[in-house]
Amino acid sequence: MTTFLVDESTFLGRDEHIGYILSGLLGEASSSDAIERNLHVISLSGHGRYWENDSGPNCLQPSHCCKVVITIIEALDDHRPNVAEFSNLMAKVCELIRQSGKVFIVLDDVWTEDFNLWDPFRIAFKNCAPGCRILVTTRKSRVAEIIESETTINLGVLSKEDCWSIFRNIAFFDCDSKECAHLEELAR
């Protein structure tokens, strides 16, 4: 479960990317193909962890597709759909997107490289009004290609200093400055 309520002061190491992300979200689609589709897909690509062979969550696995579609429907229609079949759910998404005008949808932590799982979403999203945005976060750059991203931003890894700042903020969050400095020295 995620929320839009975040403490922006805790963001570390991504200052250079914020402008690109905002430009992609707020700017006009640059390719004629994206303008024709009314859709601008932005992918944030980067590793949440340092290892590659992780079998983590995947919001577009076949078993999760219905959950993702139901979440989209609930966000657009303010109630849970009374159907459970994937094709009926996707038809409802198409209808709601057509009625909603502009939409902004976030698909977080997409891992699958299966075009067939993305295709129903791509078809549904082509009903968007001009200016719609889809933001996809992924650890695999190939996913950005498969979903036909207009903009792909590779986040890369954080610097050692930024990693240490994150650790310090979590591990020493309730220390006074003198105690915190002593604990930092011991940790190094």
pLDDT of 11 higher than 50: yes
pLDDT of 182 higher than 50: yes
What pLDDT, on the 0 to 100 scale, is given for residue 65? 83
pLDDT of 99 higher than 60: yes
Query: Is the CB of residue 107 less than 8 Å from the CB of residue 137?
Result: yes
Buried b (16+ CB within 10 A) or exposed e, 54-71: eeeebbbeeeebbebbbe
d(CA 99, CA 92): 11
What pLDDT, on the 0 to 100 scale, is given for residue 157? 81
pLDDT category at 54 given cuts 50, 70, 90 is very low
Mean pLDDT over 92-100 rounds to 88
Q: What is the pLDDT of residues 145-175, one digit of tens each?
A: 888 888 888 888 888 888 877 777 777 666 6
Class of domain 20-156: alpha beta
Q: Percentage of the chain surpassing pLDDT 70?
A: 71
Give 12: exposed, middle or buried? Use CB within 10 Å, 0-12, 13-18, 19+.
middle
d(CA 106, CA 134): 6
pLDDT category at 188 given cuts 50, 70, 90 is low
What pLDDT, on the 0 to 100 scale, is given for residue 49? 47
The strand ranges marked E within 26-80 are 39-45
Question: Domain residues of the chain, as ranges?
Answer: 20-156, 158-188
Q: Which of 118, 125, 116, 110 is nearest to 48 (CA)?
A: 110
Buried b (16+ CB within 10 A) or exposed e, 167-177: eeeeebeeeee
Mean pLDDT over 75-95 rounds to 88
Q: Percentage of the chain surpassing pLDDT 90?
A: 4
pLDDT of 95 higher than 50: yes
d(CA 51, CA 57): 15
| Helices and strands (H and E) in the chain: how many | 8, 4
* Tokens representing residue 155 in the block: 């986040």
